[in-house]
Amino acid sequence: MDWSMIGAIGELVGALAVVLSLIYVGRQVHQANTMARSAAWHEITSDLNDWTMAIASSSELSEVMGKVHFQGLRRDGASDSERVQVAYAYVGLLGQLNLAFKQTQDGILREGELEDAYGPESAVMAVPYLRDLWPILRPGYSPEFASWFEERYLPEESAD
């Protein structure tokens, strides 16, 4: 056997090893992405559950949120303590939504997963109180998130 043949076989084996390594790394990356998506989805659903349980376990907060959702309580008709309770409840929810939005932008979550958790038809977002509160909360968020949020949840509201 001549040296050029041995060299060619060596190159072929090397190329095959590179291809197999790339396949292995690709599978590892895919698995890591799947695990990151799963962890992010778990975090979002866990945070939503915590948010709803905090309201459910507080009779005072449940009463105020009930007024917001079922009696049409508006910010200008709420007492000072009701304003604080509702504002903090929505700050918590919007913080979770903002995180999910960033994770979607970073490719960790898929758009459909964000939809499943925070669809625009969500009753918790479709209240006049949130529309009244949003201009106060808006400066705390990035312009990208604020525009996305307004387009999705406050469609007839102008951006500024």
> Do 128 and 74 meet the contact criterion of CB atoms below 8 Å apart?
yes
Query: 44 or 145: whose pLDDT is higher?
Result: 145
Distance CA(144)–CA(102), nearest Å, equals 10
**Spans of all domains in the chain:** 38-153
CA atoms of 139 and 146, how far apart (whole Å): 8
pLDDT tens-place string over residues 93-129: 899 899 989 988 988 888 777 777 777 667 778 788 9
Whether the pLDDT of residue 159 is over 80: the answer is no
Q: Which pLDDT belongs to residue 121?
A: 66
Going from the C-alpha of 39 to that of each of 36, 96, 131, the distances in angstroms are 5, 14, 31
Q: What is the band of 158 on the pLDDT scale with cuts at 50, 70, 90? A: very low
CA atoms of 145 and 147, how far apart (whole Å)? 6
The answer for 107, left when phi > 0, alpha when psi is -120 to 50, beta otherwise, is left
Q: Distance between CA 7 and CA 14 in Å, rounded?
A: 10
Whole-angstrom Cα distance, residue 93 to residue 124?
9
